[in-house]
Amino acid sequence: MKIRPARLQHGDTVGLVNLSSPLNIESLGDKLAFLEELGLKYKLGNTVQAYEGYLAGSDEERIKDFHQMIVDPEVKAVFLVKGGYGISRIIDKISYPLIEDNPKIIWGFSDVTTLHTQVNEFANLVTFHGPMLSSPKGELDPLSKKMFQQLFQPIEIQYTESISPLTTIIPGAVRGELTGGNLNRIVSTLGTKFEIDVRNKILLLEDLGETIEQIDLMLNQLRLSRKLELAAGFVIADFNMPDDTYSYEDVLKVIEEYLKPFNKPAVAGFKIGHCEPNIAIPLGVDVLLDADEKTLSILPGVE
């Protein structure tokens, strides 16, 4: 069992850091107000306004900023505020024992997939795949906002078709630990010490702006590296295509072609990732995926 971080209390302070691409600080405006609505205080890391070319500060600056938030006793959660690119450069320099010794909520998605998989594995800590506070689309939608409540009390999430239409790709039911996130970031670590461990786990996949050929290529890499074979099941989330040439349904046909030979339960259509709403979920907890009933039951992520 992985460590579940302590739940937040009203009045707690959360640390905001950026380990990826540079951020326009103005995009945080209404999101900071939302944190205040939740009854939270916040502390801005140095990387929130840092620029180092296409990165939010140098590798050293980003590592230092993150580590400082992890050890700061006042900070009860660390929110990564921007995606893009950059975490892959520092995953071998982050101190996972430091995180395990100071377990707290870590929240973000997209490029943060790289961090989630490593913290789940090397720090034995549950993390949260949830919307960034720097979303370019302005205020978060109501359902995305509601999902922050799982940080204040242990809530079991029941994802059904009441949230979004779901499609059974392969029938069956399976229980296992949930892992994964952004397909591109998962594939980028294959062949390294930091490649994702999917053995007997349920693999979440989502992505943004990849062509159907690129999606096919990455799924093939997962096949050749035996990740599709070793996983216990699959949660297929949003795939936001770069243009109108191919649809989500076209992507699902490609995914089905890759998953069918392994006959593991698989369901598609989850609004998790680069979409609205973006349903926040914990990673590293046990879930029950029922592809026949088209439901995903997720155990709480906090203590």
Largest distance between two CA atoms of the chain: 51
pLDDT for the residue 6: 98
* Distance from C-alpha of 54 to C-alpha of 133, rounded to nearest angstrom: 19
Q: Strand 105-108 vs strand 75-80: parallel, antiparallel, or unpaired?
A: parallel
Q: Any residues with CB less than 8 A from the CB of 97 and at least 6 apart, and which? A: 123
pTM over 0.95: yes
* Distance from C-alpha of 200 to C-alpha of 149, rounded to nearest angstrom: 29
CA 67 to chain centre: 20
* Distance from C-alpha of 16 to C-alpha of 64, rounded to nearest angstrom: 13
* Distance from C-alpha of 271 to C-alpha of 36, rounded to nearest angstrom: 26
**Residue ranges covered by each domain of the chain:** 13-151, 157-298
**Which of 116, 135, 206, 210 is the catalytic position?**
206
CB-CB neighbours of 133 under 10 Å: 25
SS3 202: strand
Cis amide bond preceding 265, omega within 30: no
Fold of 157-298: Glucose Oxidase; domain 1 (3.50.30)
| pLDDT tens across the length of the chain (303 residues) | 899 999 999 999 999 999 999 998 887 877 899 999 999 999 999 999 999 999 999 999 999 999 999 999 999 999 999 999 999 999 999 999 999 999 999 999 999 999 999 999 999 999 999 999 876 666 789 999 999 999 999 999 999 999 999 999 999 999 999 999 999 999 999 999 999 999 999 999 999 999 999 999 999 999 999 999 999 999 999 999 998 899 999 999 999 999 999 999 999 999 999 999 999 999 999 999 999 999 999 999 999
**Which of 20, 110, 135, 144 is the catalytic position?**
110
Please name the helix (run of DSSP H) or strand (run of DSSP E) that holds residue 286, with its range, or none: strand 286-290
pLDDT for the residue 27: 79
pLDDT for the residue 25: 83
Examine the residue annotation and report whether 135 is marked as an active-site residue of this protein. Answer: no
Q: Which residue has the tokens 């995953």?
A: 91
First to last CA, the chain: 13
Pick the CATH number of 13-151 from 3.30.420.40, 3.30.460.80, 3.40.50.620, 3.40.50.10740: 3.40.50.10740
Examine the residue annotation and report whether 110 is marked as an active-site residue of this protein. Answer: yes
Examine the residue annotation and report whether 210 is marked as an active-site residue of this protein. Answer: no
